[in-house]
Chain A
């Protein structure tokens, strides 16, 4: 039953604790007791007998100690008292903090009930005047794991310590720091939060926090100006590109919106806009531009080519977006030219960065006529895929031709049952089946 306590080892091995001994009436010891008492307002102040609590550390221990939990569960029961679930220690696995005050782990194992509402009433936090006392109080609160208590202490420290000192000490106390940041966020203390981030050297977080303010700005013009000011903030490299894009996009959307709101052009009368383009994502903006501003020269802000270039949109993304927009408008000619490429001999060939089966899907969803569908279906390389799509969308000619190319007489016979008797397709199958020149594989 006498198992070494990691805290003890650490205590004896670490020079940080050299000023402290168990038996003396050390000042620090007394202070700590006080801070502890404040945190646990309902503390039962019995003997400081650490030994009557079994401490078991389950993490960072050799494997043997884990199996120990299974085999010797019975022996881990405290002999005194009825309650007998052992204490498990949370602190040892945490990295030791740089401050000399992280002694609180030594005081684990007391029987404590934390009553937060009692905290303020029973104990006056004002009794903790020296920095040392305040920090002990904080560390004790952290070691109790109750976020409510940690925040309570932090609120007191916020009132009674200068920013500089508090920030400096929080830097060494990650858990307390995160509580503080969350508290400031909830209180809406934006300015202080930014100062804190700056003091911690987390400049990119600080920049993000300032950038976040734009969400509160409703007016587009003001928002744009705010974003412009944000550009000089110390963002990380990726974030800086993002914010630059955000600014450029909004600036451009404002220009486009001013022109399009009037809706003079024919296209706006035919397809009235459902919403303004302001604050839409880039891809939506591109779609909008492919829908309303297709064919404009590269120089105009609203042209698809310009948007594509400015925001470095990949060919794939561009084709998908343009395809969707032009198909929606049933401009099959535009769809066609999206995929046309000329080789060096001047022949036109269809090429696509996305699979042609995807193209077919999109066209079909936009109710493309069968001829258009068939054209793209024929460009699908994989015959299996082509067949399944052709069957799904009832492109009989393609199914029939594919079976012919596969020399699959049996399937052709089966498929004949699916087309209307006496129809064009039926006749075509009939002809094929009678054609003696085809060497069927079955």
Chain B
């Protein structure tokens, strides 16, 4: 759509190289186990594998049958078993069981585990403890980076969030450091690294340690600057309902590894359709960053244009028709197909959102962000909770929906959660414990004053969490901080002013003009100031851990805004949302930057809360 921005933005580097590297390495690893073999793949690695290889590739390297890891007894008759898995203790235990039962029945096979992106010591210990160390060979497939689009790279490690921020396990720090190192060695050297968050600091250190062996090459960098940010610096943004098209598609249909499955209600046939949603889809590419209110208008205009193009056929003679068919028709048909798909998706989004009182939910969220009418908001949320429960039967959906509506008040203000277990499903006591741990939920004791409550919260958090992590959490817990932060950074535009969503004036457009995402605002400010100077108050409220460091290739060169200097890699530790990516794309157009988002996973409110659910054994 008509976005006027700076047109001199630099070109993005080519990331397809990353896929080739990963594929070549996988092939190499498969060849380490010569001969026919059956391959067991972790369920969450399957889509990932689809992006870089196909069955033919695997077959060419003597993979006979493919199985999904299901932690059940296996039926394979092959003499060689290869397991391609994430380094998880549970999976390794399952493999050890297979080996032991083979042994018991006198069966001889060869086993190989390929851990990706790396192995953990704890996993190897399991092999040792189960007495199969040595019977099983292990390898690492260092597949860190999956390009999801021209400007999005994902580690596809959703567990990074829970492990790091909830459990306090730093097992992925080195992984993230290695991922950054890979980017660095292919597209660097970087000139500046900015960051905020405890994990960000550790990742920076890990990366720095890894490149220290004089790896620096004298070459033209393709990525100039890097910004590292912890997810717990900003929990508010990922918890807001998304209203930009790509974010909505993710919220409603769940984009997985860059692809989405549209059900019959979208395809208007009896079949579901899996499609890639990225810049290759010309229709999608034009609406992905748009506020949903603009999407219908755009799609219908597009449909009219298409009709006109088709209509050209009328009155053509044979020759013209021939040219038309060979040159234009295919493109038109393709566009037609995409157009009808996205129209179907938009309709479906409309329907679903109307059903859930989406308008009112948004209003509530926005009021909470502004801190207005908190009482009314809470009463809305309460009613919503009750009504939702009756609409769904499955307790899991209920909880996600409920926590979703409930999140704003929990993250932004302390409150008294009346009869919490009544609505949420009784087993979510444990989920609540998790929410408390991570700082998203603060319960107010009735009758206590706020100060008492706050000190209590402080104590609660200190008791349970480690070192500096506590500060980040308690910061969120204190209701004043978000308010103060949003005031200082002007995250909430003045209410009452008209906001034309067709002509966005700032990043707030991704939330209907109601809120500029904190994470993106920080990035904007730091890039503008070339550091954290002047943001001391802000970083104090975010519990510090900010840094800005310069690599020393050449001091003067760093100051000249060369093209690579305007290509900025933003690494989200713990996940980022499509809305944030849209906001950064907007910022890039405004300021002449190009942002590349490197994230541990794509997240949204549902995924974030699901990561904290504890209703299964």
Contacts and interface: CB of A to CB of B under 8 A. Distances in A.
B173 A145 contact: yes
Contact of B427 (A74, A177, A215): A215
Interface string A175-197: 10111011101110000000000
A181 B545 CA distance: 25
A147 B549 contact: no
A59 B121 CA distance: 32
A281 interface: yes
Nearest to B119: A117
B390 A324 contact: yes
Interface in B381-430: 382-383, 386-387, 389-390, 393, 395, 398, 418-427, 429-430
Given A147-B171, A287-B389, A175 B163 contact: no
A187 B386 CA distance: 38
A310 to B, nearest CB: 11
Contact of A281 (B201, B210, B395, B468): B395
A287 B533 contact: no
Nearest to A202: B463
A178 to B, nearest CB: 3
B89 interface: yes
A246 B614 CA distance: 16
Nearest to B533: A67
A281 B390 CA distance: 11
A238 B443 contact: yes
Interface residues of A, number: 92
Contact of B122 (A67, A113, A183): A183
B35 to A, nearest CB: 25
Interface in A268-296: 274-275, 279-284, 287
A181 B463 CA distance: 15
B121 A120 contact: yes
A58 interface: yes
Contact count band on B? 35 or more
Interface stretch (B144-152, B213-221, B486-494): B213-221
A151 B210 CA distance: 20
A371 B167 CA distance: 56
Contacts of B615: 215
B594 interface: no
Contacts of B529: 70
Nearest to A154: B122
A84 B168 contact: no
Contacts of B386: 283, 316-317, 320-321
Interface string B521-538: 000000001111100100
B124 interface: yes
B421 A245 contact: yes
Contacts of B531: 66-67, 69-70
B550 interface: yes
A179 B168 contact: yes
B552 A78 contact: yes
Contacts of A14: none
Contact of A87 (B126, B170, B208, B211): B208
A146 B426 contact: no
Contacts of A111: 209, 212-213
Contact of A182 (B121, B163, B174, B215): B163
B546 A208 contact: no
A88 B201 contact: yes
Given A90-B201, A178-B168, A83 B215 contact: yes
A362 interface: yes
A239 interface: yes
Given A112-B209, A179-B169, A245 B426 contact: yes
A249 interface: yes
Contact of B547 (A69, A114, A146, A249): A69
A350 interface: no
Interface string A103-142: 0000000011110110110000000000000000000000
A242 B430 CA distance: 11
A77 B205 CA distance: 16
A210 to B, nearest CB: 12
A370 to B, nearest CB: 22
Looking at A74, A145, A181, which has the most chain B CB atoms within 10 Å of its CB?
A145
B170 A84 contact: no
Contact of A282 (B173, B426, B552): B426
Nearest to A175: B466
A84 B551 contact: yes
A59 B545 contact: yes
B466 A177 contact: yes
A316 B202 CA distance: 49
Nearest to B543: A59
Nearest to A284: B389
Interface in B191-231: 192-193, 198, 201-202, 204-206, 208-216
A187 B89 contact: yes
B121 A155 contact: yes
A186 B89 contact: yes
A313 B419 contact: yes
A45 to B, nearest CB: 15
A312 B465 CA distance: 33
A90 B430 contact: no
Given A60-B544, A70-B531, A182 B167 contact: yes
Given A94-B467, A151-B120, A211-B430, 17 more contacts: A60-B544, A67-B533, A73-B549, A73-B558, A78-B552, A117-B121, A120-B121, A145-B173, A145-B202, A146-B170, A146-B206, A150-B170, A186-B88, A246-B429, A250-B426, A282-B423, A316-B382
**What are the 5 A-B residue pairs with the smallest beta carbon separation, nearest first?**
A77-B552, A84-B552, A74-B555, A147-B170, A178-B168
25 contacts: A59-B544, A70-B533, A70-B548, A73-B192, A74-B550, A116-B121, A117-B124, A145-B202, A145-B206, A155-B122, A174-B466, A212-B430, A246-B426, A275-B393, A280-B425, A281-B395, A281-B424, A282-B421, A282-B426, A283-B390, A287-B390, A311-B419, A311-B422, A317-B382, A320-B383
Interface of B: 88-90, 118-122, 124-126, 140, 163, 167-174, 192-193, 198, 201-202, 204-206, 208-216, 382-383, 386-387, 389-390, 393, 395, 398, 418-427, 429-430, 433, 443, 463-468, 529-533, 536, 544-553, 555, 558, 614-617
